[in-house]
């Protein structure tokens, strides 16, 4: 596994990180399997993955990671998030100071650690200026409960506004949805901010897993979040997935590794997050760090040839 420095921080993180949303199950991903989750984290560590990204809203993800990393905490760079809360079947923004402090304490307890390497604002709260939230996070950093601060799902103007206070930006970045990453990468490079891409496989469609439209529950994350599993969007996603599989066959690797390698080839990318719910998937994802694409292959994947 190749490690990369996260922006101007002292953190050396694996080029491929484990995005632990699906790992935790829950309404977004269906029933969780604790044994499989523990095996997945162990396989990722053994494959050289050291960066693990979770959130309190990701089902049992934090609890599973806490158990899986017992005795191996020093091998892991742990990132979690704040600012989203469940309100019945709805998800609401809440970046009030009392919520941030409570969520952090709960995350530390579930993750069985006394500090987080990276603590991230999950989404900006339209009711509270980002600067006010970052002031609270800076105080938590002074207390030693977090080492570095990040923001997720932000625009280029928002990154410029808070560049002096944040160490990392996390936005969606994949072959199917490249713009959310590309729109902020230049300013991240300019300001020395690390960039973490998520949704690299778009819920699995770029791994070649789906050959026809899946029959998903209404609450499934692939149904409402990635928006590429129905109709014309699914047909277009399948065409991209076929190009990914063609390159993978030529290179003797997995489609997941090729999709991850495309994202890692982006200038200024520190890490890409790839979800996994089994040890085999974690091992396949890790191969992205050793997969090097030629300029011609990148053009082919982007359908520019």
| Residue closest to 86 by CA, chosen among 67, 106, 66 | 106
Cβ neighbours for 29, distance < 8 A, ≥ 6 positions apart: 21, 22, 59, 220, 221, 277
| Residue closest to 15 by CA, chosen among 300, 292, 295 | 292
> Catalytic residue at 148?
no
Q: Is 241 helix (H, G, I), strand (E, B) or coil?
A: helix
Residue 223 structure tokens: 């149904």
CA distance 143 to 34: 32
- HEC letters along 34-101: HHHHHHHHHHHHHCCCCEEECCCCCCCHHHHHHHHCCCCHHHCEEEEEECEEEECCEEEECCCHHHHH
Taking each continuous run of H as one helix and of E as one strand, the counts in the chain are 12, 12
Catalytic residue among 58, 119, 148, 226: 58
Q: What is the CA radius of gyration of the chain?
A: 18
Q: Spell out a b/e string for 262-300, using b for 16 or more CB atoms within 10 Å of the CB, else e.
A: bbbbbebbbbbbbbbbebebbbbbbbbbebebeeebbeb
Q: How many other β-carbons are positioned within 10 Å of the β-carbon of residue 190? A: 12
CA 19, distance to chain mean position in Å, is 4
For β-strands 271-275 and 12-14, DSSP reports them as: unpaired
* Share of the chain residues as helix, strand and coil, in percent rounded to the nearest 5: 45, 20, 40
| Catalytic (active-site) positions | 58
């Amino acid at each position: 596994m190749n490690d990369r420095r996260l922006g101007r921080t002292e953190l050396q993180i694996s080029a491929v990180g484990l995005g632990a949303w699906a790992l935790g199950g829950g309404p977004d991903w269906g029933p969780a399997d604790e044994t499989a989750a523990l095996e997945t984290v162990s396989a990722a560590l053994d494959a050289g993955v050291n960066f693990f990204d979770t959130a309190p809203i990701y089902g049992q993800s934090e609890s599973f990671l806490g158990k899986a990393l017992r005795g191996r905490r020093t091998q892991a760079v742990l990132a979690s998030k704040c600012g989203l809360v469940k309100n019945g079947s709805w998800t609401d923004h809440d970046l009030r100071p009392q919520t941030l402090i409570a969520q952090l304490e709960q995350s530390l307890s579930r993750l069985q650690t006394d500090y987080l390497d990276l603590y991230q604002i999950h989404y900006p709260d339209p009711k509270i200026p980002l600067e006010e939230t970052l002031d609270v996070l800076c105080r938590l950093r002074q207390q030693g409960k977090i080492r570095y601060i990040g923001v997720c799902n932000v625009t280029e103007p928002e990154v410029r506004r808070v560049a002096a206070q944040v160490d990392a930006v996390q936005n969606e970045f994949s072959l199917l949805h490249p713009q959310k990453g590309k729109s902020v990468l230049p300013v991240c490079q300019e300001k020395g901010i690390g960039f973490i891409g998520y949704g690299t496989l778009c819920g699995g469609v770029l791994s070649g897993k789906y050959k026809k439209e899946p029959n998903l529950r209404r609450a499934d994350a692939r149904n409402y979040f990635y928006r590429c599993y129905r109709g014309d969007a699914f047909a277009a996603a399948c065409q991209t997935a076929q190009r990914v599989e063609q390159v993978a066959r030529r290179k003797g690797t997995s489609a997941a590794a090729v999709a991850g390698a495309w994202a890692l080839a982006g200038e200024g990318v520190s890490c890409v997050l790839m979800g996994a719910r089994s040890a085999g998937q974690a091992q396949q994802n890790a191969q992205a760090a050793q997969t090097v694409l030629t300029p011609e292959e990148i053009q082919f994947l982007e359908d520019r040839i």
